[in-house]
């Protein structure tokens, strides 16, 4: 069986599984249509505002050192692992009780809702209530932790740009836009396997076969049983 045959069979099985789950809600939209829908949600605007502010601040400060180029390069290299650890440790957090207090974050609760209905677009985005404190918190941390202001704002530009890329990619995968390129198709398939095949694998969103290979969560889909709890995390 060729790579093309394997890819075709995988797409057919995912399409059949998605049809079983979502029924007649499946349709196909143009990239322009899904882009307009993207900007109807608060998180893209919030992230973009901080990204633009960081770009302006960095431009106003000027100067800087050549080693600042290592900041975006290092973050891009580390991002698949950061994404994987966030997905596993925070989004798939199993609620725990410490005495009378239940520890269960808004991010984890919303992510469980997202798994219950992957087609509910508002649940695809990072909750605005989280971004309201997280985005400015990054500014405080960067200015305190990085030795120079130019480098701190270079770090913030990189962080917000990666966040924007994550929001767009995750949204696009869950939208009704169908893959047209091989590069996007493998990312699209990777995340849909996580939702429709088995939630214990395929944790990366913006890449495929990177951190999942590193951490042992990138199996052959044929060797993994279809999970009964993909839509109901933790059962």
pLDDT band at 65 (very low <50, low <70, confident <90, very high): confident
Residue 204 confidence class, pLDDT cut points 50, 70, 90? very high
Q: Which letter, b or e, does each residue of 167-201 get, where b requires 16 or more Cβ atoms within 10 Å of its Cβ?
A: bbbbbbbbbbbeeeeeebbebbbbbbbbbbbbbeb
* C-alpha to C-alpha distance for 86 and 106, rounded to whole angstroms: 14
Average pLDDT, stretch 209-221?
96
Domain boundary assignment for the chain: 31-223
Both tokens assigned to 74: 């290092």
Give the per-residue pLDDT at 227: 94
Per-residue pLDDT at 153:
97
161 exposure class (CB count in 10 Å sphere: 0-12, 13-18, 19+): middle
Residue 24 has pLDDT above 50, yes or no: no
CA distance 140 to 33: 37
pLDDT, residue 180, reads: 87
Q: Is 63 helix (H, G, I), strand (E, B) or coil?
A: coil
- Judged on CB neighbours under 10 Å (0-12, 13-18, 19+), 79 is buried
Taking alpha carbons only, the member of 48, 36, 26, 86 closest to residue 167 is 48
Judged by average pLDDT, the poorest of 21-30, 176-185, 208-217, 220-229 is 21-30
The pLDDT-based confidence of 5 (bands split at 50, 70, 90) is: low
Is residue 228 pLDDT above 50, yes or no? yes
Q: How far is CA 197 from CA 13, 14, 173, 229, 234, in A?
A: 10, 8, 15, 10, 15
Please determine, for residue 96, whether its predicted confidence score (pLDDT) is greater than 90: yes
**Tens digit of each residue's pLDDT (9 = 90 or more) over 31-44:** 999 999 999 999 99
In the predicted structure, residue 210 carries a pLDDT above the cut 90? yes
């Amino acid at each position: 069986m060729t790579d093309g045959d394997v890819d075709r069979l995988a797409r057919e099985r995912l399409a059949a599984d998605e049809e079983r789950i979502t029924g007649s809600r499946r349709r196909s939209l143009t990239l322009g249509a899904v882009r307009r829908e993207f900007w109807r949600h608060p998180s893209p605007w919030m992230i973009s505002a901080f990204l633009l502010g960081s770009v302006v601040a960095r431009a106003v400060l000027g100067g800087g050192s050549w080693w600042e180029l290592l900041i975006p390069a290092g973050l891009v290299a580390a991002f698949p692992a950061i994404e994987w650890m966030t997905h596993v440790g925070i989004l798939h957090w199993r609620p725990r009780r410490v005495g009378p207090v239940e520890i269960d974050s808004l991010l984890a609760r919303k992510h469980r809702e997202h798994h219950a209905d992957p087609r509910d677009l508002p649940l695809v985005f990072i909750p605005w209530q989280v971004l309201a404190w997280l985005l400015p918190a990054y500014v405080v941390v960067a200015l305190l932790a990085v030795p120079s202001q130019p480098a701190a704002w270079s770090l913030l530009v990189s962080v917000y740009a990666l966040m924007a890329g994550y929001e767009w990619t995750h949204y696009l995968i869950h939208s009704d836009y169908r893959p047209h390129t091989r590069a996007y198709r493998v990312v699209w398939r990777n995340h849909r396997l996580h939702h429709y095949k088995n939630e214990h694998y395929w944790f990366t969103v913006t890449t495929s076969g990177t951190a999942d290979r590193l951490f042992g969560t990138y199996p052959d889909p044929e060797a993994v049983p279809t999970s009964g709890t993909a839509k109901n995390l933790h059962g």
